[in-house]
């Protein structure tokens, strides 16, 4: 069973997934990634968009050897919690590094890469992954 990709959802989330764009609360300053319309810290609805630096470090990681159909060609997949310079932590896939070479504290930067494709409708989904600096 492969994962279905919604074309409208891909378009709605394009700035967050292609540009690493977040929302920042005008009231309390909390950064939200992925972007959200309401601050979960103070409830403020007045948020503005900001591009994140894309630079950070690996706090922890896991290696996924068993993956869903449609992702098998990418296995093993390394997922990491990356702390960005801005202080927020995001879950992201690592790329351009062998799993045995991943280390906690490793400096990484965001890059645009292919995430997956739905061959039936021809949609290729791209997104942000992180690679070693």
The residues, ordered by sequence, that sit 6+ positions from 47 with a Cβ below 8 Å of its Cβ are 23, 24, 25, 26, 32, 35, 36, 37, 38, 39
In a domain, 111, yes or no: yes
In a domain, 2, yes or no: no
Greatest Cα pair distance, the chain, in angstroms, is 45
Give the number of domains in the chain.
Answer: 1
Q: What are phi and psi of 15, to 5 degrees?
A: -65, -40
- How many C-beta atoms surround the C-beta of residue 96 within 10 A? 11
What pLDDT shows up at residue 1?
42
Of 102, 110, 13, nearest in space to 58 by CA: 102
Which residue range is the domain that position 39 belongs to? 7-132
Give residue-wise pLDDT tens across range 45-85: 999 999 999 999 999 999 999 988 777 888 899 999 999 99
For residue 41, CA distances in Å to 47, 60, 91 come to 12, 25, 20
What pLDDT shows up at residue 71?
78
The rounded percent of the chain whose pLDDT value lies above 70 is 86
In a domain, 72, yes or no: yes
Whole-model pTM over 0.85: no
In Å, how far from its chain's centre is CA 49? 16
In a domain, 1, yes or no: no
**For residue 46, what is the domain's CATH number?**
2.40.50.840
């Amino acid at each position: 069973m492969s994962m279905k990709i919604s074309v409208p959802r891909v378009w709605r989330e394009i700035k967050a997934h292609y540009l690493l764009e977040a929302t920042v609360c005008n009231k309390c300053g909390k950064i939200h990634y992925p972007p959200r319309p309401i601050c979960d810290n103070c409830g403020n609805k007045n948020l503005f968009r900001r591009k994140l630096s894309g630079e950070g470090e690996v706090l922890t990681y896991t290696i996924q050897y068993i993956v869903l159909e449609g992702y098998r060609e990418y296995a093993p997949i390394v997922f990491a919690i990356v702390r960005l310079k801005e202080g927020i932590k995001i879950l992201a896939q690592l790329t351009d590094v062998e799993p045995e070479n991943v280390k906690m504290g490793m400096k990484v930067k965001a890059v645009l890469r292919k995430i997956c494709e739905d061959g039936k409708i021809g949609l290729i989904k791209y997104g942000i992954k992180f690679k070693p600096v």
